[in-house]
Amino acid sequence: MVNIMPGDHVTDCHVLVIGSGGAGCRAALEASQYGETVLLSRTLTGKGGCTVMAEGGYNAVLAEEDSTGLHFEDTMRGGAYLNDPELADILVTESPDRFRDLTAWGSVFDVEEDCVPAQRPFGGQRFNRTCYAGDRSGHEMIATLTEQIRNTGIRQMQETSAIDLLMDGRRVAGAVTLDGDGTLGVITADATILATGGGTRCYDISTNCAAGTGDGFALGYRAGATLIDMEMVQFHPTGAVYPPDSRGRLITEAVRGEGGVLKNSLGERFMERYDTERMELSTRDVVSRSIATEILEGRGSEHGGVYLDVTHLPAAEIERRLPIMLEQFLQFGVDIRIQPMEVAPTAHHLMGGLKINPDAATTLPGLYACGEVAGGIHGANRLGGNALADTQVFGKRAGEAAGKAPAITLQVDIDEVLATEAARCDAYCRGTTPPHEITRELKHAMWDNAGIFRTKAGLKEVEATVSRLQNLVPKAADRRMLNECCTVTNMLTVARLIIHGALLREESRGAHVRQDITQDWTPADSPFGHTVQSLFGTAIEERRGAA
């Protein structure tokens, strides 16, 4: 039943980049300067991933009055000091240069006056440093990057998934692929970059695109890479709540950056009770918990959210600065110029991910990671606007390091690899359960017990659910569904990593809240460091010199 690409089922290249969002595109552009580069994408290039749908902006220190030191402090404080300081420093230091790269390649970000980029305020930052293109900032970036990719010799393999990393002993040497027809293939590479993005689709309510299933985390984990802080799931404060199928759709932080206010059903601007100083522009973890608390305590809106209101802003300003929001809500019958939006938290971003060093190298030789699949940069909570910057800074670093990697001579039996994968696919063909039934149960269980508020008991419950689901074999009724079966398997792996991390971390910190634990330390003097998970064991790091 499973096809193996006859004859030419092996593609060889110097650098393989898996994923064509902001990080993958940037990595491929950089790597292609060093040798033949393949950009593998399960969607059309640039159309997958969350970059294209990112709205708010890109943080870069551009103004003289701002400083990278300040940006660093904001990032660390926002991340509850769980960030790897070296990575955070690289992020803030190199972000302006990467913004200039985008500009050189043709990006059209808004300008304040002639030749001065416009920058808006975003949560948790003491300076207006979020560059933007209206509320389609990520789209602007992807448009720019894909235009550049078309100008290069980068080989695009589209609508084809990586279902496993290709291993040569402990070394990563490419990937096994599966296309939309269910045909297996192999890409061999001297260096492989995972740029597969995030994975909050394992939650019932999520901002992520269809590709946000966390495959890269699972591929890396299965190959033996180390992952850190997987429990750190950012719930974006403002997702749509209505109609039911649109729940979770991102309502950009730019709405609050432009002056939007949050109100409960009593008309109270409730952020006064949670963060008097920063109000709506507090960090995302704080705002999400505040909204969730208002809803839980019965002050929610008609459809189970709270109100986000921009009606006090001039209509022309809304039309110019938030055109996508305006248009999207109009499609659902709400005119945000005259009516408040209804919003509630939605699973948005995984701060954790593959452990990387400053070269974006993972713990496995030959494997690099950049963008959301990499961990450590954002600590326990990411600042809005730092993710788009992250894709460019670490995309470039990964591309450069991978590009400079030496050529390797492969010692792997491709036929054997393909036979193993074919057997896996055959098992799916004989599977028992429709994939959507598994994901549906997973999503609800994760939302209920591994969401904004967590307890050990709840986490144990969802762990049991995931274990049970992992014992089911997703069924491919058709060979074109094999990809979906692989994805479901990966989602379960990601869910398990999140749950395990959450059990390991017996404290509340950043986005991770353990209601069953009382603690007498602040994030800055927490006794804990990263949670660490790999095939070879799990642990939570103890911090030297902490309380």
Binding site for another protein (CB under 8 A): 43-45, 47-48, 50, 52-53, 100-101, 103-106, 108-111, 113-117, 133, 136, 138-140, 143-144, 146-148, 150-151, 156, 158, 180, 209-211, 242-246, 249-250, 324, 327-328, 331-332, 434, 436, 477-478, 480-481
**Shortest Å distance, C-beta 326 to another protein:** 12
**Shortest Å distance, C-beta 199 to another protein:** 15
CA distance 321 to 382: 23
- Contact between residue 380 and residue 232 where contact means Cβ atoms under 8 Å apart: yes
Residue spans of alpha helices (H) in 430-481: 435-449, 456-470
CA distance 383 to 58: 10
- Contact between residue 306 and residue 338 where contact means Cβ atoms under 8 Å apart: no
Whether the CA torsion 103, 105, 110, 116 is positive or negative: it is positive
Determine if residue 34 is left, alpha or beta; phi over 0 gives left, psi from -120 to 50 gives alpha, anything else beta: alpha
Beta bridge partners of 505: none
- Contact between residue 163 and residue 130 where contact means Cβ atoms under 8 Å apart: no
CA distance 260 to 253: 9
Token look-up 């932080």 returns: 253
Set 26, 77, 120, 236: catalytic member: 236
Report the residue number, 106 or 267, with the smaller CB distance to another protein.
Answer: 106
H helix or E strand, kind and range, residue 93? helix 85-104
Report the residue number, 112 or 525, with the smaller CB distance to another protein.
Answer: 112
Instruction: Write the burial class of residue 7 (CB in 10 Å: 0-12 exposed, 13-18 middle, 19+ buried).
Output: exposed
CA distance 383 to 73: 11
* 479 catalytically annotated: no
Structure tokens at 419: 């036979």
Strands 261-263 and 306-309, sheet pairing: antiparallel
Instruction: Write the burial class of residue 473 (CB in 10 Å: 0-12 exposed, 13-18 middle, 19+ buried).
Output: middle
Whether the CA torsion 350, 223, 33, 93 is positive or negative: it is positive
DSSP state of 238: E
Torsion of CA 104, 107, 112, 113, to 10 degrees: 50
The total of other beta-carbon atoms located within 10 Å of residue 400's CB is 18
Closest CA to 490 of 193, 184, 220, 235: 220
CA distance 161 to 310: 41
* 436 catalytically annotated: no
CA distance 380 to 407: 37
Determine if residue 437 is left, alpha or beta; phi over 0 gives left, psi from -120 to 50 gives alpha, anything else beta: alpha
H helix or E strand, kind and range, residue 402? helix 386-403
Which amino acids are annotated catalytic?
236, 256
